[in-house]
Amino acid sequence: MTRLTLAGAALTVLMAASLVACTKPAADKPVADTGKIAAAVRADADQGVADFNAHDAVKSASHDAPGMVAMFHGAPNTVGADADLATTKQIFADSPNTKFTVADESVDVAASGEMAVYRATYSYAYNDLKTKKPIVETGNYVVGYKKQPDGSWKQAWDILADTPAAPAPAKS
């Protein structure tokens, strides 16, 4: 090997090493601010309840992600924001005094910051379709939120699961 070839090889290795040394390592994906996400999801859930209780079907359905799925006991799944809008309008027509309240709310956020789960207990007052008598139902409410391309949080799915009333205390 000639000195020129050896010097060229050494220069090539040195240049490659210099380039590697100057190259910044790829930045890790930023850590999600789960507290900020939880607050945004909670605010959306609270606004969704307010919009529903104002009997504003359009605003109520505006909290839905494209392709959302709503699962309510005793009813077929509602798929998509348009179907949810139609269902919500029908609920208001059938039961003009309907009211939905939540308590014991919590929000769990995925470490990736791409999904969150809102959980609460609920009370739902409405009129029976057949008897028109008022009914108050209670249960568990679970909503899956997905981050949207615009950075907002929308409901991807929601589930209402009614729970029976607590049994009366036993008489002694």
Residues 6+ apart with CB under 8 A from 130: none
Residue 84 lies in a domain: yes
Residue 50 lies in a domain: yes
Average pLDDT rounded to a whole number, residues 107-135: 93
| Residues 106/120, Cβ–Cβ less than 8 Å | yes
The Cα–Cα gap between 143 and 152 comes to 15
Maximum separation of any 2 CA atoms in the chain, in Å? 106
The pLDDT score that the predictor gives to residue 41 is 97
For the cut 80, the answer to whether the pLDDT of residue 124 exceeds it is yes
| Residues 56/28, Cβ–Cβ less than 8 Å | no
* pTM of the predicted model over 0.85: no
Average pLDDT rounded to a whole number, residues 133-139: 92
For the record, the structure tokens of 38 come out as 């939880």
Average pLDDT rounded to a whole number, residues 109-132: 93
- Listed residue (147, 141, 157) closest to 33, CA to CA: 147
Task: Report residue 78's pLDDT band, with 50, 70 and 90 as the boundaries.
Answer: very high
Q: What is the CATH number of the domain that holds 39?
A: 3.10.450.50
**What is the enclosing helix (H) or strand (E) of 76?**
none
The Cα–Cα gap between 146 and 95 comes to 30
Separation in Å, CA 82 to CA 44, 49, 88, 146, 160 = 19, 18, 10, 18, 19
Residue 12 lies in a domain: no
More confidently predicted of 18 and 110: 110
Residue 133 lies in a domain: yes
pLDDT tens digits, residue range 137-154?
999 999 999 999 999 999
Residues 6+ apart with CB under 8 A from 98: 55, 91, 92, 124, 125, 126, 127
Range(s) of the domain holding residue 97? 34-162
| Count: domains in the chain | 1
The pLDDT score that the predictor gives to residue 28 is 64
The pLDDT score that the predictor gives to residue 153 is 96
The Cα–Cα gap between 76 and 30 comes to 40
